[in-house]
Amino acid sequence: MISKEDQEYEMINKNKSLIFDGSLMKNESNIPSQFIWPDHEKPNCASATRELLQVPLIDLSGLLPNDPNVIKKATSLVNEACSKHGFFLVINHGVDTNLIKNAHVYMDKFFELSLCEKQKAQRKIGEHCGYASSFTGRFSSKLPWKETLSFQYSAEEGSSHIVEDYFQRTMGENFSHLGKVYQDYCHEHSFSTDHGTFGVEPWCYQEPLQRILPRK
């Protein structure tokens, strides 16, 4: 009889050879068992009693003239959202809509690349920046059906090209335009809000790009 520990060890070794290629697996009709969660942990969409996620609107229009009442309200909403679930929607942020559109377009372009191209930015153990495809090799079950790209941004003096440099260093010169888009994107976000208002300094920011692939 195989013990539970031996089964777990065998599954982890099996997962080391499991490759999550989002651009291919999104078209798969058969989902590998490692990505299927137990029924009791799945959301009950038919339940009438389930609590709807309340995502607060954070209006930044009042932050620019430094209205203390608006700042206090926004701070409270962000604090509550981060404590409960981590989601909030920012409006009137002043970021150029074309820049936001380009950020979304280039996000799709990156994740549609071949796996070998995306793995040029593969996140290394112990690091928080880079490309990650699910958690294959780390966990044996209940794997997330997603892939992410994280990179660091800093508004500190001397770090004005940190995002561009990251993409050129990890992906190559052909991706310098992508780095420029996200450098500008991060820069606009850092200056559209008062980081000190929420108790977060600019150098702490890390910009994550994440795509959750739909299950078919």
DSSP string covering 62-97, please? GTTTT-HHHHHHHHHHHHHHHHHTS--EEES----H
The tokens of 175 are what?
A: 């991706």
d(CA 22, CA 25): 5
pLDDT band for position 59 (cuts 50, 70, 90) = confident
Of the listed ranges 6-10, 54-58, 140-144, the one predicted with least confidence: 6-10
Work out the percent of the chain whose per-residue pLDDT is above 90. 21
State mean pLDDT over 193-212.
47
In the block, tokens 């299950």 appear at: 215
pLDDT digits (tens, 9 = 90+) for 18-34: 677 777 777 777 888 88
SS3 call for 158 = coil
pLDDT of res. 69:
81
Whether residue 137 is predicted with pLDDT greater than 70 in this model: the reply is no
Q: How far is CA 146 from CA 107, 125, 143, in A?
A: 14, 18, 9
The tokens of 2 are what?
A: 């195989």
pLDDT band for position 192 (cuts 50, 70, 90) = low
d(CA 214, CA 146): 9
Whether residue 57 is predicted with pLDDT greater than 80 in this model: the reply is yes
pLDDT of res. 132:
86
pLDDT band for position 135 (cuts 50, 70, 90) = confident
pLDDT of res. 47:
57
Whether residue 126 is predicted with pLDDT greater than 70 in this model: the reply is yes
Of the listed ranges 30-34, 165-169, 190-194, the one predicted with least confidence: 190-194
Q: What backbone torsions phi and psi does residue 89 show, to the nearest 5 degrees?
A: -110, 125
Q: Give the helix ranges, DSSP H, for the chain.
A: 4-15, 22-25, 68-84, 97-111, 115-118, 162-171, 176-192
Whether residue 73 is predicted with pLDDT greater than 60 in this model: the reply is yes
pLDDT band for position 2 (cuts 50, 70, 90) = low
- Cβ contacts of 10 within 8 Å, gap of 6 or more: 2
pLDDT, averaged across the chain? 76
Query: How big is the chain by its Cα radius of gyration, in Å?
Result: 20
DSSP letter at 144 equals -
pTM: 0.69
Whether residue 10 is predicted with pLDDT greater than 60 in this model: the reply is no
Spacing of C-alpha 82 from chain mean position: 15
Q: Using DSSP bridges, classify how beta strands 206-212 and 57-59 pair: parallel, antiparallel or unpaired.
A: unpaired
State mean pLDDT over 190-202.
49
Instruction: With CA atoms as reference, report the closest residue to 151 among 182, 176, 174, 180.
Output: 182
